């Protein structure tokens, strides 16, 4: 079956072109917003050539084709459903259309994901530089007082120092505000006049008397929650001002008043409250991590894949970024990594044992994808389809999660798991052992649990 024919049959099994509200694609999957999901013939779609799985998540029906194939299918599918038609999309972006189909919790998680995903490359780069510096220091490769070491140290910390500016830009874009005004708000909260908490040591910030209000001149370098809350308010203020300010002076007055009003509120109210909220979340997590120890890793590693099914895991990026600053490392990411690796281990077991050729053709690349940190093909294309392999993956994830917590493995960044996480793991040896535990645990558990296959297949 050629790609054009696949696209035509896919439209038919989705309930027709009119049932597709919006369509786009990522590296491996078609992402579709469907008007009436009851009209979808999921089994028929999964039986199509090149289809590796299909699932409903985060307000979208997603069809897995794999890298390269998805582009070729979408080239024919897009015109059939009017994916590039403004009339078809009703002037609403695909992201907005998807959000309309989500529950409030999933919508909140997706919003946080949209804010943090664009920033991840900067944090990953900084995390890898921190790992390199750690190796240099541990094995005395370079003198810590040398120009090379000091310059690399600058490079590694820059992303965290200006993190509020990066978040300000990305958050304003997501909240419908001017992204450059969002960056300005982030700049205000990291202004050189404010004492940088990264180098606070025993220094005490100055307190200004602002009409009876004490304003502590302490910066928000590296913080997450304060700038998120502030930029959300900024976007609301900007939209409200644009409704009342005449168009002829909008370009002058709206940015002026937005920055002034938001700046005062940020330093007087939201900033201190957001800092307290961020510190509170960190303290609670530290308490659970320090008290429950490996048990916490066992539970979180086992349950993470079920959280992925809800889409709520997208909200974890904000918490992980807060941990990086307040704790000096991300101890949640290694746990999530174990769960992802375990999905690959379970899928690998299916590949070894199954007698169905199409399942074999899906399972091997899906397992490799999971080992590289992308689990959707493994979860939805194989493990959930046969159910018991998903349980086997949960067992492997729990075992691996318990080990990385027991050995206190941390990461220098967010967003990447599996094999790529070796680059940002603070303890690559124990991370590697946990990797093998999760993989082999899921592989063995899946073989022991077994699964039923349709004889017709």
What is the set of active-site residues? 26
Reduced 3-state DSSP string for 86-119: HHHHCCCCHHHHHHHCCCHHHHHHHHHHHHHHHH
Partnered with residue 64 across adjacent β-strands are 29, 53
CA distance 17 to 23: 11
d(CA 322, CA 251): 35
DSSP assignment string, 25-68:
E-SSEEEEEES-GGG--HHHHHTSTT--EEEEETTEEEEE--TT
Q: Are 167 and 117 in contact (CB under 8 A)?
A: no
The answer to whether residues 358 and 308 touch, using CB atoms and an 8 Å cutoff, is: no
Residue 91, phi then psi, degrees to nearest 5: 55, 25
* N-to-C CA span, the chain: 18
Q: Which residues contact 418 (CB under 8 A, 6 or more apart)?
A: 337, 340, 341, 344, 370, 371, 372, 373
CA distance 370 to 389: 14
Contact indicator for 227, 171 with CB cutoff of 8 Å: yes
**DSSP state for residue 425 in the 8-state scheme:** B
Q: Which residue has the tokens 């976007």?
A: 235
CA distance 169 to 184: 8
Cβ-defined contacts of 154-158 (< 8 Å, 24+)? 155/126, 155/129, 156/126, 156/129, 156/130, 156/132, 157/126, 157/198, 158/126
């Amino acid at each position: 079956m050629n790609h054009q024919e696949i696209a035509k049959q896919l439209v038919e099994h989705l309930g027709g072109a009119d049932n597709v509200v919006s369509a786009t694609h990522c590296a491996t999957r078609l992402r579709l917003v469907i008007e009436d999901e009851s009209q979808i013939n999921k089994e028929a779609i999964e039986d199509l050539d090149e289809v590796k799985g299909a699932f409903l998540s985060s307000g979208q029906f997603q069809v897995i084709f794999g890298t390269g194939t998805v582009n070729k299918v979408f080239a024919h599918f897009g015109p059939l459903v009017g994916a590039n038609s403004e009339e078809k999309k009703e002037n609403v972006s695909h992201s907005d259309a998807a959000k309309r189909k989500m529950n409030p919790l999933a919508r909140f998680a997706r919003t946080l994901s949209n804010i943090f995903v664009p920033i991840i490359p900067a944090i990953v780069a900084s995390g890898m530089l921190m790992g390199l510096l750690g190796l240099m220091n541990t094995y005395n490769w370079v003198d810590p007082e040398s120009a090379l070491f000091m310059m690399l140290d600058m490079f590694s910390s820059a992303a965290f120092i200006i993190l509020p500016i990066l978040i300000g830009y990305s958050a304003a874009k997501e909240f419908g505000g001017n992204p450059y005004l969002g960056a300005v708000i982030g700049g205000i909260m990291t202004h050189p006049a404010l004492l940088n908490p990264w180098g606070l040591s025993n220094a005490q910030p100055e307190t200004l008397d602002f009409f009876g209000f004490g304003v502590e001149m302490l910066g928000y370098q590296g913080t997450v929650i304060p700038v998120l809350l502030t930029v959300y308010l900024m976007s609301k203020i900007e939209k409200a001002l644009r409704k009342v300010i005449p168009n002829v002076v909008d370009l002058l007055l709206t940015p002026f008043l937005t920055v002034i009003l938001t700046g005062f509120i940020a330093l007087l109210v939201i900033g201190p409250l957001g800092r307290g909220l961020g510190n509170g979340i960190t303290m609670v997590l530290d308490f659970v991590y320090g008290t429950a120890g490996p048990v916490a890793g066992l539970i979180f590693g086992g349950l993470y894949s079920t959280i992925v099914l809800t889409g709520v895991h997208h909200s974890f990026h904000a918490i992980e970024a807060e941990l990086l600053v307040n704790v000096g490392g991300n101890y949640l990411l290694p746990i999530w990594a174990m769960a992802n690796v375990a999905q690959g281990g379970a899928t690998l077991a299916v590949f070894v044992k199954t007698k169905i050729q199409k399942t074999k053709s899906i399972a091997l690349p899906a397992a490799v994808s999971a080992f590289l940190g992308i689990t959707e093909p493994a979860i939805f294309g194989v493990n959930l389809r046969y159910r018991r392999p998903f349980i086997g993956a949960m067992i492997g994830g729990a075992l691996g999660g318990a080990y990385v917590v027991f050995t206190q493995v941390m990461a220098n960044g967010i967003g990447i798991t599996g094999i790529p996480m070796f680059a940002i793991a603070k303890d690559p040896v124990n991370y590697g052992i946990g990797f093998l535990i999760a993989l082999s645990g899921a592989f063995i558990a899946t073989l022991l649990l077994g699964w039923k296959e349709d004889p017709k297949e």
